[in-house]
Amino acid sequence: MAARLCHGAELTGEDIERLERLFAEKQDVAARIDLISRGERVDSVRLVVSGLAARYKLLPDGRRSIMALLLPGEFCDLHVGVLGHMDHSVMTLAPSEVVITSQREIDVMMQEFPNIRLGMRWVDLVDQAITREWLVNMGRRRADRQMAHFFCEIHHRMAMIGAVTDGGYALPMTQEELADTLGITPVHALRVLQSLRQNDLVQFQEGRITIPDLAAFEAFAGFDGDYLHLREAKEG
Amino acid sequence: MAARLCHGAELTGEDIERLERLFAEKQDVAARIDLISRGERVDSVRLVVSGLAARYKLLPDGRRSIMALLLPGEFCDLHVGVLGHMDHSVMTLAPSEVVITSQREIDVMMQEFPNIRLGMRWVDLVDQAITREWLVNMGRRRADRQMAHFFCEIHHRMAMIGAVTDGGYALPMTQEELADTLGITPVHALRVLQSLRQNDLVQFQEGRITIPDLAAFEAFAGFDGDYLHLREAKEG
DNA sequence: CGTTGGTTTGAGGAAACTCAAAACCGGTGG
DNA sequence: CCACCGGTTTTGAGTTTCCTCAAACCAACG
């Protein structure tokens, strides 16, 4: 089911079987729990199977910056072994299912299943592209366009994993968390959200996003999904 | 000489010899030339050996966002083969030396020289950490602190490759390019720069940065170099 | 000596922030 | 059933940061 997460590679039945075996070890984690904290030295590896998580950093004065959203199928710390320790933390935003396994198991799996290895590499590279686009988004778009762009991106990423239903998707974030990912204050986040709502561009209620007219919304945001590398994914 | 770029791994004489052989094929590139452009599908790989380059994107209205600085020893497009095409461009900011080689040669080299492979992986991961920190910097620091933080980071990265001399380093960027990397306007960039200069925190003349009191400057910026993973590097 | 690209200055305006405080809402306990 | 609670959302008013537009300045270059 969640095996279609590796968009970058053609997976065989055996590959999928192996992934299912990996996912079988999943654990439940409540919302707002650190999956891994800054400074930790671990040889284990964490993977979000369902729910939602976020990479974040806290500044000395207590402010927070959310640098990435982890959707189902993404790793928290696939490479921490190389760097030695985490330079940021990862927390759940919603009740989630998480696989905690060893670096060794992942290494062996990638050795034996090159398609999986390729797929994971693809996910990792798209993640980097997303982080770069967030930089563009924060630096060169006003808050209303920026927020719209963010909702567009998540829409596409959710669609990628089949999580868009009835023209909308679950995004269980508070306004404060939204503000921390956009780099603005909660008060301003609300005001921007209100203006988007008033223009019927988006609905955001009970942790659910609905975009009545995606094309119009993308035009408003100046969204170009090229950086998500979707076409490559579909065509293999 | 430039072989000490792989901080993440202990390199043997053979490793260094192999890298020197790679660097031997370097070419001169003038300033402000695209090394690779958005949309390109290439099977070649580009590596900055000397000089300075930048990852950037242009928005439809012509504004630009610089998302990363490539210092000597960093790859432009090591992984583009997996994603299919570039989602951004890379240009030189200064006259530079660049190695253009094939994906194949790099793959073979990484196969035969696991230390080099590890070192390159390390550089790649630190790059990701840097991109995330830029996100924090843009989202949660005012322009003066943000600019100071940027200068601190580059100082440390330059020091890593032995490019800090006389307490300063070459940073051949215009104020406009600086503004595009900080996500502000050139006019504002100048004003922030002036305020830093007036407080004797930094000098920026003729493409050269000098920081009279690095500790004080880092304190001002709220800089914590943890994300550069320097200690791991030094200790192997 | 005009052109060009980069730097600098000024003034007014828009975007985003700070500081409160009020309203809301699902849960909890009396 | 209702008062209370903490967390979240909402509203308001005044302030700071940053932007826009426009023009001067300057050194390098042909």
Compare CB distances from A131 to B131, B222, B229 and report the shortest one's residue.
Answer: B131
From CA B226, how far away is CA A88, in angstroms rounded? 10
How far, in Å, CA of A58 to CA of B145, rounded? Answer: 16
Alpha carbon distance A21, A2 (integer Å)? 12
> Residue B1 and residue B47: Cα distance in Å, rounded?
15
Whether B178 CB is under 7 Å from strand D: no
| Separation in Å: D11 C1' and A196 CA | 17
CA dist., res. A236 & res. A137, Å (int): 28
In Å, what is the separation between the CA of A4 and the C1' of C11?
Answer: 57
Rg (CA), chain B: 18
CA gap A147, B10 in Å, rounded: 44
CA distance A141 to chain B (A): 9
pLDDT in tens, B177-215: 999 999 999 999 999 999 999 999 999 998 999 999 999
Q: How far is B181 from chain A (nearest CA, A)?
A: 8
d(CA B231, CA B236): 8
Q: Given A87, A226, A232, which is nearest B129 (Cβ)? A: A87
Measured CA to C1', the nucleotide nearest B192 is D18
pLDDT in tens, A185-236: 999 999 999 999 999 999 999 899 999 999 999 999 999 999 999 864 443 3
Pairing type for strands A89-92 and A53-58 reads: antiparallel
Is nucleic acid strand D under 7 Å from B188's C-beta? Answer: yes
Q: Is the CB of A148 under 7 A from strand C?
A: no
Tell the burial category of B96 from Cβ atoms under 10 Å away from its Cβ (0-12, 13-18, 19+).
buried
pLDDT tens readout for residues A165-189: 999 999 999 999 999 999 999 999 9
Averaged over A12-40, what is the pLDDT? 94
What is the per-residue pLDDT across A32-50, written as a single tens digit (0 to 9) for each? 999 999 999 998 999 999 9
Nearest nucleotide from residue B191 CA, by C1' atom: C8
Q: Is the CB of residue A225 inside 7 Å of nucleic acid strand D?
A: no
Q: What is the pTM assigned to this prediction?
A: 0.95
Name the residue among B65, B59, B63, B58 with its Cα closest to residue B182. Answer: B65
